[in-house]
Structure 1
Amino acid sequence: MRTRGSKRKHIEIEIEDGEKSKYFKKEEEIKLEALESVRGPPERESIDVEMVKKMGPDTYYDWVDARTKDEITYKPLEDKPHYPRNFLSIYQKVRIMRSKIATPVDSVGCAMIPLTVGKEFGESKETMLPRTYRFQLLIALMLSSQTKDEVNAKAMFNLKEYCKEDLKNPEGVTLESMSCIDQDTLAQLIYPVSFYTRKALYIKKTVKLLNENFDGDMPPDIVGLCSLPGVGPKMGYLALQKAWGKVDGIGVDVHVDRLCKMWQWVDPHKAKTPDHTRKLLEEWLPYNLWYEINPVLVGFGQVICLPRGKRCDLCMANDVCNAVDRKLVKSAKNRNELRKSRGNVAEWIQYLEETTKARETIKPDGDVKLVMEAKEENAP
């Protein structure tokens, strides 16, 4: 019995991607549910993992980038009967906005962190070994849960600095250097991220598993990745994309989950978790958008359509969005008064002002393709 004045025991609970805490389920049961939810990918080109492992920096990064292009195009998408009614009208406009907005995920997203942070230490694609990149990508993903990209990058910087300066490892964060860091020190180094003590434990366990079960490299499939503590489908699919060039599933984080439910691209009643959203999206979203949709919606959710403080006054899709704030749209004349933002929208505001006349010539019921065509002349 708890006596008067005694403190409740604090229990740290971490659920990936903002899922509601399952207070009465053991961690092993939660992990089992995640593994059981993993579906095999559709029939796609198989990847020769051993071939990828043999690639040097001069080949590896270009090969992966060719399979997971970050460039956002303007080419109109073909309409399909099974698409949600508002998908094309919203998504194609979001694509245009994203090409003009600088967002945190573009520079310090998990896939970029190894190279972005590496530049601070004189590293580049030419000097970072692919295996080192894959390991750092995995660590960045494990640290990212419920943590902003900018904070995650700071934690990775701390790790790299310690590994290089204190451990004298020229490659910085590697499997070998992380094996030498005790759990308490690791927790202190990653302190800025949420649940840092739990994540330090997960990383130490993961380092051991990688050595014992995966030949010291990142697992090349979703089942192997989900067998690591603290790694769920979202992290796993993103890791496969940028580490092995394998687009086996959609990476659904809190932004993708929130926006897809808000626009009703998935049934909010069925999509109780981000992984539910992933499976529902994969039922109808064209495979060629499986990689793109994550960076497109994540950046859009970070800077324009935030959970709080939406910028409907800057949104090109405010005429078709079912969740638009009309008061903000009416205040569009003040959009040049930049608010504090995680990203940079100056180029987008300029572009928006220059193309307002073209947009106004389109009838309310006009085809969104006309809007795309009206802007292609100024497209990069």
Structure 2
Amino acid sequence: MPRETKAAKSARAVEVCRRLDQKYGPVECFLDHESPFHLVISVLLSAQTTDAQVNRVTPELFRRWPTPADLAAASPAEVAEVIHSLGFYKTKARHCVECAQTIVTDFAGEVPHTMRELTSLPGVGRKTANIVLNVSFGIVEGIAVDTHVNRIAHRLALSPKTHASEPLKTEQDLLGILPREYWRDVNHQWIRHGRDTCTARSPKCEGCVLEDICPSAHLA
């Protein structure tokens, strides 16, 4: 099979975005939140945990500690009790408190608006920062590559197999072939597609809107 040129790959990636946009339209954030701060904490908690599981614990979490100042004054042990059903809950509880403390001390209690500042918060990486910037502030700095986006990018051969375990490299691959105007909707639309059709196990390739442009579908 001939090697795909970058131009051809870019055109195929754009077509992927066009088809998924046609199928799903605007997709809301899957994490329940009422403020940028709530979103930061929710995305932080979502690492290696489903959004549904996070949404079950955050109502009580934010009832007890609704603001950065409130959570900054909590103890990690108290927070751990509330989120103990989540994976890695002890580490996440510590990061929640430290993140809130940093927001209070370094940013006057307001969630910052830049990639550099957001990623300076404990427990916040580029994926979390991308989601917060996009959803809360309408700022598009990149693409949030979670497990669904990463899986789809590699099944579609839009990123080399050698990058499959490195989401940051996958993001750079996608940014390199997708025009900026497509970045905003990739995360939520691709997550939706990953949950509905391109599942981790037994993907529903037959009848998928991407079947004819997905190399993996031809191997299924």
Q: Report the TM-score when normalising by structure 1.
A: 0.52
Gaps of 5+ in 2: none
Match of 1:239 in 2: 132
Structure 1 window deviating more from structure 2 (194-203 vs 275-284): it is 275-284
Q: Is the 8 A contact 1:247 1:290 kept in 2?
A: yes
Match of 2:199 among 280, 303, 306: 306
Q: Is the 8 A contact 2:38 2:62 kept in 1?
A: no
Match of 2:30 in 1: 109
Match of 2:38 in 1: 136
Q: Is the 8 A contact 2:130 2:143 kept in 1?
A: yes
Distance of 1:193 and 1:307 partners within structure 2:
21
Distance of 1:274 and 1:192 partners within structure 2:
26
Distance of 2:150 and 2:49 partners within structure 1:
16
**What amino acid does structure 2 have at the position aligned with 1:109?**
F
Q: Is the 8 A contact 1:271 1:280 kept in 2?
A: no
Match of 1:27 in 2: none
User: Is the aligned partner of 1:92 residue 2:18?
Assistant: yes
1:293-318 CA distance string (max 9 Å, x none): 11111110011110013222442222
Deviation at 1:83, TM superposition (A): 4.3
Match of 2:111 in 1: 218
User: Is the aligned partner of 1:145 residue 2:56?
Assistant: no
Distance of 2:212 and 2:133 partners within structure 1:
36
Distance of 2:15 and 2:133 partners within structure 1:
30
Match of 1:200 in 2: 93
Q: Is the 8 A contact 1:251 1:291 kept in 2?
A: no
Q: Is the 8 A contact 1:158 1:190 kept in 2?
A: no
Distance of 1:86 and 1:143 partners within structure 2:
34
Distance of 2:204 and 2:163 partners within structure 1:
28
Distance of 1:266 and 1:159 partners within structure 2:
37
* Secondary structure of residue in 1 paired with 2:189: helix
1:307-360 CA distance string (max 9 Å, x none): 013222442222332212787xxxxxxxxxxxxxxxxxxxxxxxxxxxxxxxxx
Deviation at 1:271, TM superposition (A): 5.3
Q: Is the 8 A contact 2:72 2:98 kept in 1?
A: no
Distance of 1:324 and 1:304 partners within structure 2:
12
Deviation at 1:220, TM superposition (A): 1.7
Q: Is the 8 A contact 1:179 1:207 kept in 2?
A: yes
Matches within 5 A, 1:1-380: 82-84=7-9, 86-99=12-25, 106=28, 109-110=30-31, 113-115=32-34, 133-161=35-63, 163=64, 173-270=66-163, 272-324=165-217
Matched residue pairs, number? Answer: 215
**What amino acid does structure 1 have at the position aligned with 2:184?**
Y
Deviation at 1:195, TM superposition (A): 0.8
Q: Is the 8 A contact 2:155 2:214 kept in 1?
A: no
Distance of 1:207 and 1:88 partners within structure 2:
38
Question: 1:81 and 1:258, CA in 2 relative to 1: closer, same or farther beyond 3 A?
Answer: closer
Deviation at 1:158, TM superposition (A): 2.2
Distance of 1:153 and 1:314 partners within structure 2:
32
Distance of 1:83 and 1:320 partners within structure 2:
11
Q: Report the TM-score when normalising by structure 2.
A: 0.87
Which structure: larger Rg?
Answer: 1
Distance of 2:136 and 2:25 partners within structure 1:
24
Distance of 2:118 and 2:213 partners within structure 1:
39
Match of 1:168 in 2: none
Higher-helix-fraction structure = 2
Distance of 2:8 and 2:179 partners within structure 1:
10
